């Protein structure tokens, strides 16, 4: 590929990028995500994983319906 062919292809790619990006600029208000959304999502994710724990759970367990589980797993049935 010679330089002029490369230059033509680069121009075409740049024009296509501008054509794709212009309709979405500036970003709409609906597309904005606030920090509180991430804070809420992270809190829910941590609570979910706390509910998935097994074994002897601490007294301050936030998921009240979840009790101790799998305390005798791995023991022989003798």
- pLDDT tens track for 51-72: 999 899 999 989 888 899 998 8
The per-residue pLDDT of the chain, averaged, comes to: 80
> Which residues, 6 or more positions from 61, have their beta carbon under 8 angstroms from its beta carbon?
50
What pLDDT was estimated at residue 2?
Answer: 81
Q: Distance (Å, rounded) from C-alpha 30 to C-alpha 24? A: 12
Q: Which two tokens stand for residue 48?
A: 């979910």
More confident residue, 1 or 70: 70
Are 70 and 57 a contacting pair, CB within 8 Å? no
Angle 41-45-50 (CA atoms, 0-180°, nearest 5)?
150
More confident residue, 51 or 13: 51
Q: What is the mean pLDDT of residues 1-23?
A: 77
């Amino acid at each position: 590929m010679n330089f002029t062919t490369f230059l033509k292809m680069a121009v075409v790619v740049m024009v296509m990028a501008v054509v794709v990006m212009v309709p979405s600029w500036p970003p709409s208000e609906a597309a904005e995500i606030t920090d509180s959304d991430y804070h809420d999502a992270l809190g829910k994710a941590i609570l979910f994983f706390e509910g998935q724990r097994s074994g002897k759970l601490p007294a301050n367990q936030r998921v009240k319906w979840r009790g101790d589980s799998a305390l005798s797993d791995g023991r022989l049935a003798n």
